[in-house]
Amino acid sequence: MNAFKLPFSEFETQRLRLLRYTSRFAQDAFLWYSDEEVMKWAGPDTHKSIDNTLLFIKTITKANSDGKMIYWAVHDKQSKKVIGDISLYPDMKHRFASAGTFLMKTFWRQGIMTEAMQPVLWFAFNKLLLHRVEAQVFSEHIASIKLYEKLGFKKEGLLRQNFLINGTFCNSIMYSLLKDEFIPKCKWTELY
């Protein structure tokens, strides 16, 4: 267990709230964790029942209190639903974190993740005091590549066939953003 307790903040942007995950969000989260298209390029297996989502939330809540990771539920103010999530897996020794993002399909390509990632990157660099945030994306996953490029991440290189997806070894690309390179694209409020 990591003895270091990670800080946490909730945030509000123009359209969104970034909230601490609780089991109350399971019904909403199941909608994208059970969607084959959303999960196509993802690490975790597609959820088959709400029990998978409840177990997942229990696991990440524990990992969060053990100081291993941070998860935000992305809440849409207009629909009052949780529509996605963002994770950071920090390595506090080397002061970097790996980022992950999921968004319900009906909200794709509306700038939601670009907006939601702004306070997350600020938090990573200014509260976790990280030097680098990285993201490993599959080389054919255009949406993810475009997202990280829009966020200012730099392409570092190709990792050859390092993920097994549906029986095929796939290449991925390492992207990273350093603290000094982060240029916020919108405003947000820290809720606590």
User: In the complex, what is the shortest distance from the CB of residue 53 to ligand COA, in angstroms, rounded to a whole number?
Assistant: 15
**Sign of the CA dihedral running 187, 149, 32, 53:** negative
Q: Kindly state the number of chain residues that form the binding site for ligand COA, as judged by CB under 6 A.
A: 21
* Dist. CA 43–CA 86, nearest whole Å: 14
Q: How far is the CB of 145 from ligand COA (least distance, A)?
A: 8
% helix / strand / coil in the chain, to the nearest 5? 30, 35, 35
Give least dist CB 5 to ligand COA, A.
Answer: 27
The rounded distance, in Å, linking the Cα atoms of 89 and 20 is 15
Cα–Cα distance measured from residue 161 to residue 140, given in angstroms and rounded to the nearest whole number: 12
Asked whether position 56 contacts ligand COA by CB under 6 A, the answer is no
- Contact range with ligand COA by CB under 6 A, out of 23-31, 44-52, 143-151, 178-186: 143-151
The residues that touch ligand COA, with contacts defined as CB under 6 A, are 38, 41-42, 101-103, 108-114, 137, 141-144, 146-147, 150
